Chain A
Amino acid sequence: MGIEIDDNTFRVTDMLGVEDAEALLDWLIKHPEGTLELAGCTHLHAANLQVLMATRPRICAWPEDALLADWLRHALNQEE
């Protein structure tokens, strides 16, 4: 849906749906050093959330949506 991948960056531009969780997990397995850019992410399905929690990827941009960003930071123990 709202995914753009270039080289080592997985960019979420919209919603990350439940069907995307497998793609995200695959990509993270293949790119252990990959970076996630979530600035445009408006929501991600819980399946993606647990993929992130289990893989702890590097996140270069948090969602612009403050509420969502807060939740993700808490989930990934990266609260400021």
Chain B
Amino acid sequence: MNPLLDQFISESRDAIQSIGERLMQLENTPDDHELMDELFRLVHTLKGNSGLFDFPEMTRVLHGAEDLMDTVRDGRLGYSRSLADQLLEAMDFVSGLLDEILAGGDGNLPADAERTAAATALTHSLRQLITTRAGPADPETLAADPLTAPIPATPSPADAPANVTSPLAQIPETARMDACRRIFQGQPCSWLSYQPEEECFFKGEDPFHQITQLPAPLWRRISAREPWPSPDTLDAYRCLLHFESIVPMDLQELTDHFRYIPDQVELTALEPAMLAIPIGDDHDGIPTADYLQTATAHLRSGNHEGLIQASRLLLELSSPGLRVASALRWLLLVLETRPDDVPLLQQLLDNIHPGVAVGDDADTAIPAAPSPPVTGAQGMADPIVGIIETQAEILALNDTPPWLSGRLQAVAASLRAAFTLQGQLKRLEGLDEALQTAITRHTSVPLAHWLAEHVPASASASAPVTEPATTDSPAPIPSGIAAGAGETRKFGRRMEDAYAGPSAIKVDQAKIDRLMNLIGEMIVAKNALPYLAARAEDVFGVRELAREIKGQYGTINRIADEMQDAIMQVRLLPVSFVFQRFPRLVRDTAQKLGKEVRLVLEGESTEADKNVIESLADPLVHILRNSLDHGLETPDERRAAGKPVAGRLAISARSESDRVVIEIADDGRGIDPAMIRRKAYEKGIIDEQALERLTDQEALNLVFAPGFSTASQVSDLSGRGVGMDVVRTAVARVNGSIDLNSRPGAGTRLRLSLPLSMAVTNVMIIVSASQRFGVSMDAVAETVRVAQADIQRIKHQMTTVLRGRVVPLVALNDLLALDEAQIPNEDGEMAVVVVRIENDLLGIMVDDCRETVDIILKPLAGFLGNLRGYAGSALLGDGSVLLVLNPRELL
């Protein structure tokens, strides 16, 4: 798999974990904005990263989650439990996908209809939360941002006739004709006016670079927005440049090119009608009347040849500098290339008419707005609503073409006509003022506001630019800006966010395992040195060398010890690794059971070996489920018992010398020893005699007996066929122990004690029946020599008294079913290894006790794995294999 995907999976898992944690925290402090921000950031990052790969379902679900979080962060939607549920479910889904990707191995996620359906459903329910819950506030927020109104891909047709005010008229005719020809040939051309803002250099912009990247223009002008100051007062970094050009480019491409600075450019897709502006002097001496008559006739009859000839003739008669000549040149150009464009030809002919002055008065040249159709309907007839909506749409266009004022006037005229037709003259109040403001400020906004305020919402609903009629200020600040100010505040606070940066590196598990194996081998190899020393002395008789080897051994031993310790440190994980799952587990479980629970976690930073921590996970989950299911009462029961409604479940961890102690305590109903006795008896776990004899504590310990389950009903949660015996076995497997304390009515406390580390085991070597065995020093309380005379038989059980305490004795050979007697030493004493099992001591008689060694314990594999009496095997320094006993299982 590629490293990027590896990184993605690892980072995503961390993020999902953190998202779960933040959600849990939010449950307690739903108004914590920093938490909310962080939660949003996590989801946002996750989604952003997922887009780097082709996992469409993941991206879709995360997109939904991101939008939901965005809504929450904005305060449009409050935190709720169902929201947390949805998000958690989404994260579970993503987590599942990550597993699938990892399992696939090739970084692909093959299409799967079921998965796609699940993603769709999940996304739908996430979005549902947004729309149903945040619904009422939504239109307001949408309408509040006029700056985000969609940019029209092409100017509306309403723009076209307004060319009379166009700056294009200043462009030489040849350049315009060139552009026109290209357009006729299918090469789109656009008008560009780019006036960079004065401070643009301080935003990393280089306007000249933006301009020179475009294809060579058909016409260009570079000017200054004000006269250039003298060189010694010039500020090189205040941008005064103004670029204008006709670019052989599609409007869309050009819009895209200037996407970062739309407010600094005016862009227009050029059409022949905009370019065909006859310019020049007026002259009355040209006999245009006859020509116009002939030309109009030819145009109507489609006689292009006749029109061309008549036009050429008049052109020859006209001085080239006259507007008539210019109009004729355009006419001929259009006739050569687009003879069918009758409206354009007509427009040009109209220009030749002596009575019509063109190009100098914007207001009169605006073509009349489409006259509203006559309708007999009362009130707001549909076509009228349509007209008003169209005007609203036109106002919503957020471009600022050179002919904007013409457009605004046309809109105003249409509105006036529409309302007049309706007999609603009163509604026209303020229209003229709004129009004037709009024209002066060169923007549609004031007119759009007027429209929004003066017509029913339904008529202008389709106009994104209109503001809701909540503001009566004549020139309201676009609320997009106000929203921007809010953002600034938010970010100000964000700076103080507590930072939890990566202070650690991630190392592949396999690499640490390798280190572990190497140090294991090293310890074994090191242990060979004393044997070598012994051989040097005993076999080769060189004492001196033997002593030196021992000296070297001491040094290597120390280094190996330290190295082992260092590697152990690397393997240490905080118990939070396991604990972090609990808030969610407890929450979900309690919810299912209808109980209220307050979870308290303590000592999460306590560390222990990775294997130990990992082995804890399942037992702890089981214990928690038990507590929630059987221990804690329902809110009603608790209220009746005079307890707080919410139960308390505390999990704490601490280290005690070389062990980790984990306590799980609840304040639930506790365990009744009498009930345990009865049930144990019913299930045949104890006999009648024991029923009487057992102390309360001993009775409680029966819950660990195989086949015991305290729940009278097998519930969905803890009753999965495993009981506390499984928990005890799992804990014992990593050399841990478990105690139970309970007071009926007051609660239950379980105490797990585990070794900090289990990778290297210190064992004592013992000899029995001429074989060597190992016993973990963890289990060994002491070793003693017991004179045979001090061994008493009580019934069939051998015992002895150690420091005033009766200790049962067993012979190892008996336990191992070896048909040999234990051999005493020369003084007739038996070697006894006293081991502690739970809280009881047991003496195991062996033939001899030898030295202790550090070994790497390997579990027995294959069929041997079933031999429960052995904890495993290890390689010794002399190359032999040592079987390590498991005293508890031996019994």
Q: How far is the CA of A24 from the CA of B236 in the complex (A)?
A: 10
Q: Tell me how many residue pairs across A and B have CB atoms closer than 8 Å.
A: 73
Do A70 and B241 contact each other (CB < 8 Å), given the known contacts A21-B236, A25-B231, A46-B201?
no
A5 to B: closest C-beta gap in Å:
17
* Residue B196 CB within 8 A of the other chain: yes
Q: How far is the CA of A51 from the CA of B240 in the complex (A)?
A: 10
Do A45 and B234 contact each other (CB < 8 Å), given the known contacts A50-B239, A54-B229, A70-B216?
no
Q: Spell out A's residues near B (CB within 8 Å).
A: 18, 21-22, 24-25, 28-29, 43-51, 53-55, 67-68, 70-71, 74-75
Q: How far is the CA of A25 from the CA of B236 in the complex (A)?
A: 8
Q: How far is the CA of A75 from the CA of B217 in the complex (A)?
A: 13
Of the residues B206, B220, B224, contact of A53 by C-beta under 8 Å: B224
* CB nearest to A65 among chain B residues: B212
- Whether A54 lies near B228 (C-beta < 8 A) is yes
B357 to A: closest C-beta gap in Å:
32
Q: Give the residues in chain B near A18, CB-CB below 8 Å.
A: 201, 206, 237
* Residue B441 CB within 8 A of the other chain: no
8 Å CB contacts to A: which residues of B185-218? 196, 201, 205-209, 211-212, 216
- Whether B228 lies near A53 (C-beta < 8 A) is yes
* Residue B793 CB within 8 A of the other chain: no
- Whether B237 lies near A74 (C-beta < 8 A) is no
Q: Spell out B's residues near A (CB within 8 Å).
A: 196, 201, 205-209, 211-212, 216, 220-222, 224, 228-232, 234, 236-237, 239-241
* CB nearest to A51 among chain B residues: B236
* CB nearest to A25 among chain B residues: B236
Q: Which of B211, B236, B239, B241 has the most CB of A within 10 A?
A: B236
Of the residues B221, B224, B240, contact of A74 by C-beta under 8 Å: B221
- Whether A50 lies near B241 (C-beta < 8 A) is yes
Q: Give the residues in chain A near B209, CB-CB below 8 Å.
A: 43, 45-46
- Whether B236 lies near A47 (C-beta < 8 A) is yes
Q: How far is the CA of A11 from the CA of B268 in the complex (A)?
A: 39
Besides A46-B209, A50-B236, A75-B222, 4 new A-B residue pairs in contact (Cβ under 8 A), listed by A number: A50-B240, A54-B224, A54-B231, A67-B212
28 contacts across the A-B interface (CB closer than 8 A): A18-B206, A18-B237, A25-B231, A25-B234, A25-B236, A28-B231, A29-B232, A43-B212, A44-B208, A45-B208, A45-B209, A46-B209, A46-B239, A46-B241, A47-B201, A48-B236, A49-B208, A50-B224, A50-B228, A53-B228, A54-B229, A55-B231, A67-B212, A67-B216, A70-B216, A71-B211, A71-B212, A74-B220
Of the residues B201, B212, B231, contact of A29 by C-beta under 8 Å: B231
Q: Give the residues in chain B near A50, CB-CB below 8 Å.
A: 224, 228, 234, 236, 239-241
A70 to B: closest C-beta gap in Å:
7
Q: Give the residues in chain A near B216, CB-CB below 8 Å.
A: 67, 70
Q: How far is the CA of A68 from the CA of B229 in the complex (A)?
A: 25
Q: Give the residues in chain A near B212, CB-CB below 8 Å.
A: 43, 67-68, 71
Q: Give the residues in chain B near A49, CB-CB below 8 Å.
A: 208, 222, 241
A47 to B: closest C-beta gap in Å:
5
* CB nearest to A29 among chain B residues: B231
Q: How far is the CA of A49 from the CA of B209 in the complex (A)?
A: 11
A54 to B: closest C-beta gap in Å:
4
Q: Give the residues in chain B near A51, CB-CB below 8 Å.
A: 234, 236
* CB nearest to A75 among chain B residues: B222
Q: How far is the CA of A51 from the CA of B216 in the complex (A)?
A: 23
B215 to A: closest C-beta gap in Å:
9
A24 to B: closest C-beta gap in Å:
8
Q: How far is the CA of A8 from the CA of B147 in the complex (A)?
A: 52
